[in-house]
Amino acid sequence: MRLGEVLGLLWENVDLENRLVHVRKQLQVVENRLALRDILKTSSICRTIPIAREVADMLSYLPRLSEYVFCIPESRHAGKPYDPNNFANRFKDIALEAGFDISFHYTVAGSIPAAPAIIQSQTKRADHTV
């Protein structure tokens, strides 16, 4: 999943029972404002990704602070989505703090413990390494 897809993932597009993530939107910075876009880079980008049981379990424990799966957990910005530009700059530190020794790749990103598991699940599925 691309960074904008992960940060734009909405709870309505996560099917924990069937262990599926439906990629339908992406978060972008447009004219210095965050915008959740339905239009992805290509029509083939809209897809459904199976997730491992462990990933579904991790996601089930996340607090639902807003419609966004991965959102700012605390402060006056709680529940708001992460800015993709700022988030990309902080990715490596967040992954290391969560106990994951992985490198950032432009099309793969994560936050909090569940996202790196999604990344690992997705990259194994796509025959890539993290």
Averaged pLDDT score across all residues of the chain: 77
Q: Which tens digits make up the pLDDT trace of 101-127?
A: 655 454 444 434 445 454 444 444 444
Predicted TM-score (pTM) of this structure: 0.68
Task: Give the 3-state secondary structure percentages of the chain, helix then strand then coil, rounded to 5.
Answer: 35, 20, 45
Distances (CA, A) of 89 to 67, 69, 101: 24, 20, 16
Listed ranges 10-14, 45-49, 73-77; the one with the highest mean pLDDT: 10-14
How much is the average pLDDT of 83-112?
65
How much is the average pLDDT of 92-99?
75
The residue that leads in pLDDT, 18 or 88, is 18
